[in-house]
């Protein structure tokens, strides 16, 4: 079964979405947008998606945290059967690219249209979802919409999150009309008391997300699509190194307890630990000290305190633990050798998330049928699929990224590559939506 995607239709959708929050950079090769929750750009992007879903014959629902779901229930489908759903997100980082997120939403819609155009008769409904606030740029919680829908984050807690101006998520959704389906006259899921609630991915039969790769594996291999085996685990750690602030001119070198000098060794120790893991056990492991806060941060003062933010990722939990332990060992050594005091916390920890073997096989079968090369690879970034995978079968597919650039105005995926990956997605959805 081959389900060709309409490349022109998909391109038109992505380009139209790119206009919402467009940022002019002066670079003719750049395509920048800033589309964050609560903005007019975000409201308009949502409105257009709702219109496009309805134009394609889908019924639209908007849940209590602003997740948008369109559902196609053709005569062949049992309306009570668990649906097959695909999608991603519409929001962006500041001055981000035009493909990250929207490609997955509109490729999912294109998959439904391709099935309809080809006369596919699925046995179960097929849905297209756009999750709220995947990037986390406004309310500080990445994967927000999918986290609430899957029970990782309580609805009340999510709605109480505030942005930099003190506006809550609930207030922002009310303002743009996407707290439930009121503004767009869409259905809203409700609980037993009749109050708006969230989507229920646990009731889905399967979930596919198509995303740009954000790396160069597919580009280098000349492959049309990537079938993700595992989404990386992520650990965020916070290290504090306390020395003694003192006068930079009057304090002799042998009389200093320099927190920043100690922190510099810590940064190199984390890097060395990650490199050792890569060389000995897991080539996909990474460890990064991505932030330093220095106090008092004055040129003429020996630094007295440093706070360091550490990001550790891998598809193997054991590799992540090895780097974490190396970071702890580094701090212990610095206490002995440099006389500093240290503290170490681990506030954020997500285990590696394997993708469904059943859905991966369907994607490979779809690629083979379409004459497209699909290869297995892992994801080094988090995606909504990792939340959905906690409650039902989920699969993440990749389209090539030029030079691996993303979260950047120069992010680019050729239109033919978008269509090829969408074709693989459509074929996979059709296979899973038709009961054997």
Domain ranges of the chain: 7-231+352-433, 233-350
Q: What is the pLDDT of residue 181?
A: 82
Class in CATH terms, 233-350: alpha beta
Which residues neighbour 285 within 8 Å (Cβ) at sequence distance 6 or greater? Answer: 274, 277, 278, 312, 313, 314, 316, 319, 320, 323
What count of other Cβ atoms lies within 10 Å of the Cβ of residue 268? 12
Which residues neighbour 110 within 8 Å (Cβ) at sequence distance 6 or greater? Answer: 5, 6, 9, 10, 13, 422, 426
Q: What is the DSSP letter of 232?
A: P
| Number of alpha helices (DSSP H) and beta strands (DSSP E) in the chain | 12, 17
Q: What is the pLDDT of residue 95?
A: 95
Q: Of all residues in the chain, what percent carry a pLDDT higher than 90?
A: 94
Q: Which of 81, 118, 355 is nearest to 364 (CA)?
A: 355
Q: What is the pLDDT of residue 208?
A: 98
Q: What is the pLDDT of residue 151?
A: 96
| 3-class state of residue 355 by DSSP | coil
Please identify which residue in the block is written with the tokens 């060395």.
272
Q: What is the pLDDT of residue 52?
A: 98
Q: What is the pLDDT of residue 266?
A: 98
| Alpha-carbon Rg for the chain in angstroms | 24
Q: What is the DSSP letter of 177?
A: T
7-231+352-433 topology per CATH: Aminopeptidase (3.40.630)
What count of other Cβ atoms lies within 10 Å of the Cβ of residue 318? 12
| pLDDT mean by block of 10 residues, the chain; 436 residues | 92 98 91 96 98 97 97 97 98 97 98 97 98 94 95 96 96 95 88 90 98 97 98 97 98 97 98 98 97 98 98 97 98 98 95 97 97 97 96 98 96 98 98 90
Any alpha helices (H) in 180-289, and if so which ranges?
217-221, 259-280
Tokens of 10: 């998909």
Q: What is the pLDDT of residue 141?
A: 80
Q: What is the pLDDT of residue 436?
A: 67
Whole-Å CA distances, 149 to 107, 131, 158: 22, 9, 11
* 233-350 shares the fold of 7-231+352-433: no
* 125 touches 107 (CB < 8 A): no
């Amino acid at each position: 079964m081959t389900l060709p995607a309409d490349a022109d239709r998909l391109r038109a959708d992505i380009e139209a979405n790119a206009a919402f929050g467009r940022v002019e950079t002066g670079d003719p090769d750049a395509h920048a947008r800033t589309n964050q929750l609560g903005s007019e750009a975000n409201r308009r992007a949502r409105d257009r998606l709702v219109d496009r879903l309805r134009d394609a014959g889908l019924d639209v629902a908007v849940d209590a945290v602003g997740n948008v779901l369109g559902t196609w229930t053709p005569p062949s489908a049992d309306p009570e059967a668990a649906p097959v759903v695909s999608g991603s997100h519409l929001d962006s980082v500041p001055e981000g690219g035009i493909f990250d997120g929207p490609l997955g939403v509109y490729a999912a819609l294109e998959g439904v249209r391709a099935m309809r155009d080809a006369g596919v008769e699925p046995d179960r409904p097929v849905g297209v979802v756009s999750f709220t606030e995947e990037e986390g740029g406004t309310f500080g919680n990445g994967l927000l919409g999918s986290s609430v829908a899957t029970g990782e984050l309580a609805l009340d807690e999510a709605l109480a999150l505030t942005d930099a101006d003190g506006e809550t998520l609930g207030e922002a959704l009310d303002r743009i009309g996407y707290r439930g389906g009121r503004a767009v006259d869409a259905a809203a899921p409700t609980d037993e008391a009749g109050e708006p609630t969230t989507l229920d991915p646990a009731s889905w039969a399967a979930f596919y997300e198509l995303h740009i790769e954000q790396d160069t594996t597919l580009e280098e291999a000349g492959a049309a699509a990537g079938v993700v085996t595992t989404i990386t685990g992520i650990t965020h750690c916070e290290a504090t190194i306390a020395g003694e602030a003192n006068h930079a001119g009057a304090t002799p070198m042998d009389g200093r307890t320099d927190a920043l000098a100690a922190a510099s060794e810590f940064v190199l120790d984390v890097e060395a630990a990650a490199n050792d893991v890569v060389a000995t056990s897991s080539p996909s492991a990474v460890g990064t000290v991505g932030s330093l806060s220095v106090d008092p941060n004055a040129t003429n003062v020996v630094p007295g305190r440093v706070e360091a933010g550490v990001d550790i990722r891998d598809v193997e939990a054991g590799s992540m633990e090895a780097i974490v332990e190396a970071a702890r060992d580094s701090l212990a050594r610095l206490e002995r050798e440099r006389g500093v005091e240290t503290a170490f916390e681990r506030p954020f920890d997500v285990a590696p998330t394997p993708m469904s073997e059943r859905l991966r096989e369907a994607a490979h079968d779809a690629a083979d049928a379409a004459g497209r090369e699909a290869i297995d690879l892992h994801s080094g970034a988090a995606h909504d699929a990792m939340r959905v995978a906690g409650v039902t079968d989920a699969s993440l597919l990749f389209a090539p990224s030029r030079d691996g650039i993303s979260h950047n105005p120069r992010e680019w995926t050729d239109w033919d590559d978008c269509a090829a990956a969408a074709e693989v997605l459509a074929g996979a959805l059709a296979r899973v939506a038709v009961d054997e």
